[in-house]
Structure 1
């Protein structure tokens, strides 16, 4: 028990200490001391722990401190300097699986990542957005642009003593044309290359790529003081256009173009690679492949008013489609496939249910042909699942090939080129054709054989040149390629009326 007098003395002492601390607070303005000292005053009665009324000087200091804090917050937080703003780069779109499968998702291949491209090539595949030229050395050799000679060509007079005019009928990615430009660097001054391509999407990118190659070659020739194109002068855009010209037209207009530019009958070498470019096959939005979902388009020139594959199927009748499949791809099951693709449901006279995508078309062809394969082969030998899949995929490829040929008029423009070829070439001029299916090869073979018989061509390739086993392994898309060549005769008055 604490005596009453001692307790009152302690309270009085505590009140005095509190008054001293309050005076210190007013002098310094440090408000955090309250939180520190408050626990030590827990034994003070509630009545004596009431906050003292704020004095004018204390209120003024607190107001100044509050205004300073708000001013700093306003300047730093709400109005940051413009230079400190940083935008995060947009994230790339995600794709399903570990590796990208769609053409647009393969960003590393599009950006030219060396490691990724090397891995793709090592697998025997073609990087997205690129094309591997087929039979490159053989093409240059039979075009007369290679230094090699063989017994079959030694009898032909040389055309390398004059400026060369080379025509590439199908520019594509420019794999053949880039090597042709390098060969022209060793030819007579004034040699030039004219390249045709109807694909307006790809020709712009290829032309830019080849002009960079040309500028590099011209600079090399200038530094070495050689005799090639552009030697001894600073490369200019005008000189580049003279040496290399890209024409956004179908090669069926070749003769009219050369006539308008006063070059008809002056072509020393002509190359026609009749296959699709890998950029077109791999891009599923173009509709050339059945392996990925895409619209039924198949147009080489997307800017033209040519109807798409879907619209073609919508207007054809089964008999017309059957005849087209038999003519363009030698399809055995043409009748059954035509009926399945243009099948009608509902009442008589209703419109056909036409597939709208490449995958839908492929599935309908497979469903139609699968039972037919089993009926055809059941008496001979039972097919394995792998063999059936291969046969079904081949059938789908032939159906899409037939539709593509019809959409782009490929046989018509090829016949036109073969008809104009004798008028286009200079005497002893050379022509090389790369074909990829029997319909193309038959036409080229027939034209060359008839031309040789009528004296239009001095020699031609009765036997086709095929890719080596190494090239077929490195580039499986070259497996079905055939090369045929012909050399224009010396005679200028040979008749060409009976060639086609």
Structure 2
């Protein structure tokens, strides 16, 4: 089962005990939403772009579903979701956990992991957008190398892109196993490796397929604009590219001539060793919080 990260820290900083409307922009299995409700949130509007999240979340939210509305939507559509319900402001707080859920990673058919040979899909929302396999069939080599370098911070990106383009000339790339094998052959290795040579490329392609960084800064500004004075925005990022955008956007809003927020967290909050021992995926989580000014 998916274990939500930094729950105690989220509750401490969003303070749902005072009641009000809260928005969970990334519902997942419902762990954070449940925690907000149990801690006193009057109501939670929760949305997720993955429809498969809703049955699991419903089970986790049993007994308090009357205080939750679940919406199938990308978190970047926050403004549209609120407008459709006539909500001008959120008086409680907004949370966005940007990580890929354990259910998605552990479901081989989703194609996020190379631990099992599965269709090369990688979409968080399987109702829309091209799969990784489709994109890899047509992307130019230079553009692919840029994606792998920028989103995966992979120094062998050009070599990997060249290998993928050559492989697709012999036939379509359809499975995670095919792709992982191509990347491993392309990356020079010496001795023991801390991570699999395909890890960074898979991360890069997942970010690319789902446009994970696209519009993140716009979302943050949009979320701040919809907060009532004193309400907070909490964002959990899982890799340096996301966290950098959150940090810089928060800072820009706090240091503007007419500041919109104050920084509640000057440095990101990370999981304790106890939490990491219980949930190793919490190791890379970084929580940043900003409070809307009057």
Tell whether the structures are fold-level matches, with TM greater than 0.5: yes
Where 2:269 maps in the other structure, the secondary structure is: coil
Where 1:412 maps in the other structure, the secondary structure is: coil
Question: 1:194 aligned to 2:45?
Answer: yes
CA distance in 2, matches of 1:143, 1:407: 31
> Are the counterparts in 2 of residues 280 and 286 from structure 1 also a CA contact under 8 Å?
yes
Counterpart residue number, 1:181: 37
RMSD across aligned positions (CA): 1.7
Counterpart residue number, 1:357: 175
Question: 1:292 aligned to 2:94?
Answer: no
Question: 1:164 aligned to 2:14?
Answer: no
Structure 1 residues 434, 352: CA separation in 2 closer, same or farther (over 3 Å shift)? farther
- 1:481: Cα distance to partner? 0.9
CA distance in 2, matches of 1:352, 1:166: 51
Counterpart residue number, 1:135: 6
Higher RCO (C-alpha 8 Å, min separation 6): 2
Counterpart residue number, 2:151: 328
Q: In the alignment, which of 434, 437, 440 is matched to residue 236 of structure 2?
A: 434
**Structure having the higher Rg:** 1
- 1:344: Cα distance to partner? 5.6
Q: Deviations over 1:226-256 (max 9, x none)?
A: xxxxxxxxxxxxxx1xx21001111111111
CA distance in 1, matches of 2:55, 2:117: 26
Matches within 5 A, 1:283-322: 283-304=107-128, 306-322=129-145
Residue ranges of structure 1 left out of the alignment (5+ in a row):
1-129, 147-159, 216-239, 346-350, 375-384, 491-500
Question: 1:204 aligned to 2:55?
Answer: yes
Where 1:200 maps in the other structure, the secondary structure is: coil
Counterpart residue number, 1:255: 79
Where 1:326 maps in the other structure, the secondary structure is: helix
CA distance in 1, matches of 2:55, 2:72: 9
- 1:142: Cα distance to partner? 1.0
- 1:463: Cα distance to partner? 0.7
- 1:267: Cα distance to partner? 3.9
> Are the counterparts in 2 of residues 144 and 430 from structure 1 also a CA contact under 8 Å?
no
Q: Deviations over 1:272-323 (max 9, x none)?
A: 000011111101011011111111001111122x110000100101101011
Question: 1:456 aligned to 2:274?
Answer: no
Question: 1:418 aligned to 2:220?
Answer: yes
- 1:352: Cα distance to partner? 5.8
Q: In the alignment, which of 269, 277, 283 is matched to residue 479 of structure 1?
A: 283
Stretches of 4+ aligned residues off by more than 4 angstroms? none
Counterpart residue number, 1:281: 105
> Are the counterparts in 2 of residues 166 and 194 from structure 1 also a CA contact under 8 Å?
yes
Q: Deviations over 1:476-500 (max 9, x none)?
A: 111111111111111xxxxxxxxxx
CA distance in 2, matches of 1:135, 1:352: 46
Structure 1 residues 286, 418: CA separation in 2 closer, same or farther (over 3 Å shift)? same
Structure 1 residues 339, 352: CA separation in 2 closer, same or farther (over 3 Å shift)? farther
Structure 1 residues 367, 140: CA separation in 2 closer, same or farther (over 3 Å shift)? same
CA distance in 1, matches of 2:36, 2:221: 25
- 1:342: Cα distance to partner? 1.2
TM-score w.r.t. length of structure 1: 0.56
- 1:462: Cα distance to partner? 2.2
CA distance in 2, matches of 1:165, 1:459: 21
CA distance in 2, matches of 1:320, 1:251: 27
> Are the counterparts in 2 of residues 287 and 296 from structure 1 also a CA contact under 8 Å?
yes
Matches within 5 A, 1:11-22: none
> Are the counterparts in 2 of residues 272 and 434 from structure 1 also a CA contact under 8 Å?
yes
> Are the counterparts in 2 of residues 329 and 439 from structure 1 also a CA contact under 8 Å?
no
Q: Deviations over 1:381-435 (max 9, x none)?
A: xxxx4x32x24x1x41211111111111111142331130221111111011111
- 1:206: Cα distance to partner? 1.5
- 1:359: Cα distance to partner? 1.5
Residue ranges of structure 2 left out of the alignment (5+ in a row):
none
Question: 1:144 aligned to 2:12?
Answer: no
Counterpart residue number, 2:292: 488
Counterpart residue number, 2:64: 214
CA distance in 1, matches of 2:52, 2:263: 38
CA distance in 2, matches of 1:254, 1:483: 20
